[in-house]
Structure 1
Amino acid sequence: MSLRQIEPKQRGFLIVNSHPEGAARTVRDQWESIPARTDGRRPVALVLGHSAGYGLATVLAGLRRHGVRGVGVAFEAPDTGRRTAGAGWYRTAAAAALAAEHGHDMRFVNADAFSADAKTRIADLLERHYGPVDHLVYSLAAPRRTDPDTGEVHHSVIKPLGAAYEAPSLDFSADEPAVAWTRIEPGTDAEARATAAVMGGDDWALWVRALAARRLLADGFTTTALTYVGSEVTAPVYREGTIGAAKEHLEQTARELAGSPLLKERNGRAFTVVAGAAVTQASSAIPSIALYTAFLRTVLGEAGFRTTAEQAADLWDQLEGRTPLVLDGEGRIRLDGWELDARVQDRVRELWADPRRGLDAARSGADWFMGQVRALYGWDVPGVDYARPAETDVPWPVRP
């Protein structure tokens, strides 16, 4: 037991501690926002990166709408006594409690999904409890990855390619959000390759091969990996930068997997899924994304800005055949039409052209963005009594 009074420790977008009750409440709120519908089959799913962002939304929507069974994998730090557990740890405990409460068969594993050991452990678990996998969802985001064959540690970077990047960004260091200017020098070819080694498709392909080697690909097996395209406004630091190079590698991997004998012999499918903008722990670290997202939220309003849960519910309905697949010319599943609507982007560009004046018009969007960042760590969540001591030593959910 570790019942203690905690307060947020924040510097800019960086928050180094989490509130367990606040994090749990965000999971329950997200769960309740997803329309329930669990008729039909209950497919087996393996979700890699289940504890945050689109990975978490995919687990919750899969459970809520399709009664999926299976395993979620994430790598989260426990409570140390000096620092709380990571917010993803607390979100996992909450997701497991909801799954059990509603009679769903889902297990959660805390492991480095990049490692060979994790692939063996998860395959053993699937073999014992679930059998072949219908859906493998790949939603991992990490700053580094150790190559399981060579032992080399690859580090990802967020840099433009070809030329330096100068653009407005959102600064939360003062009492009120303000516009600052960011300059990032271009990345090298080696940095682009390292970023692709972390965030590209190498590990995704290893997971598919590991499951195939254990005969754990179901007939009609489908695997998806989350990606992002975004606006031309952020393209120099995202789609045209080192991250974009990694995403192109991911998309090439999807094409290679789709055409591979491993999937063809199972009538399998492989897609990248282009999601829309979201406030996640990963996205908040990318320069200019905060300001762009604040402008986007201002233009769309609460009703038009689609949540990760709404997008995940759409994705599951497409994958399970309840609605047609929405594919682009490159064979990617698109969930981002609401963001890239021409009229929406025209208005965002108007705000971006004069960012300080744009921020004056988008003050509510900036405040919303920072509130969303704090909620990622369980802070400022409605209905939570932060004046009361909280139990920070929450056990990871373990099932026999």
Structure 2
Amino acid sequence: MSDNAVVRVNGLNKKFNRDLKGSFTSGIRTLIGGAFKENPSKLKAGEFWALRNINLELRKGESLGLVGVNGSGKTTLLRLIAGVINPTSGTIETRGKIAPMLALGAGFEPSLSGSQNVYLNMSLLGMTTDEIRSSYDAVVDFAEIGESIDAPLGTYSTGMRMRLGFACAVHTDPQLLIVDEVLAVGDASFRVKCRNKINDIRKGGASLILVSHSRLSIEYLTDRAIYLQKGQVLAEGDSKSVLDAYEADQTRATREKLNSRDKPSTSATSIETGKKITIDHVRLLDNAGHEIEQIFPGEDLTVEVAVTAHEDLDECAFNVMFKPVVEPVVYHPSSTRDELGWVQITKGRHTVRMKFDPVIYLPGLYSIRVNISQGSMMDILCHVEEKSVRVLRPEGKIIRSHYIPPLHIDLAGLAVTAPDPEDVDFEGAEDL
């Protein structure tokens, strides 16, 4: 390995078995394959390739992003580089201290205090007692645990454990950071703090390998990226071009999925199946009333929902869910929550328009799910998910955050009654 290289992976392959017993047997055979004349290039019954023919080199100060759908092999590759598991075949060479952030809080002991766990965790990461003692105050300050640092870890929330785990990992003076989907730790301000800390470590000459479904994180923190699909490298290059290729594939897959779904049932069918209301169609419109499939951030968007009610319905809400195809963040506006009233839907056909002015989202593809719910428990009366909208990237501009746009609803004459605040609880609603 060259003097400037931190990681070199050559001809890496990793296979797993789908059942527990077979997985154990495969592991033993991999360890002592020579004695069993095991051929690592062939699959036995129940086995599959998690990674196939992976080659990469990461130099000092470089940063690499790994993208791909769940199950594509990203985390497996990180675990192999971190030395958590062994490859089936191929070689992995690393140089310097590694700070693996694969499962924050792994190695913590619930019966010990947070302070004691700092010493335990950082010693597992290769630091001496004197080194931990000199970094202790910085770790506690970064984690924002406060007086709870002396309380048993078993009393911590999941977020507190993850913050403490992250703080321990980034204060080990690593030459290589391995980060697997842990930048969603804590609130928004703490996530910014985490990104800034990783950038500071990188400026000190450390290298980074990052797995994330967030385009923002990959673009902001990495120089180049690899797109994995079913354990193989599908694309490699600068982060933007790889992300564009990944999102294009996700757009194609999502559109095919949406197009393959059955259209909403007609009102006649709904009467036969006992439905109280059906959604006849959903349209996405611009300001001129033209149907659209894509917009630029800052433009207005109207979601038009035509429904047929087969009886009078009270305490209803119209709900729209914007779900990014790549990044796991959902925006879920509701007529009841945003307009502060239940909608009374009379028997017959109605067209409701929910206007968002303007839309400012991160560029990417969003699937749109529309449903009508009833009552404080939000019982779903009907729903459809057959539309998607693509937010385009403005030329020469960078959008680094989401913005929840104002929502204006045209209920086409339907009455609204105020709900009892004690009966409405939206704490579990998924917002940005």
TM above 0.5, yes or no, is: no
- Length-normalised TM-score, structure 2: 0.29
> TM-score normalized by structure 1?
0.31
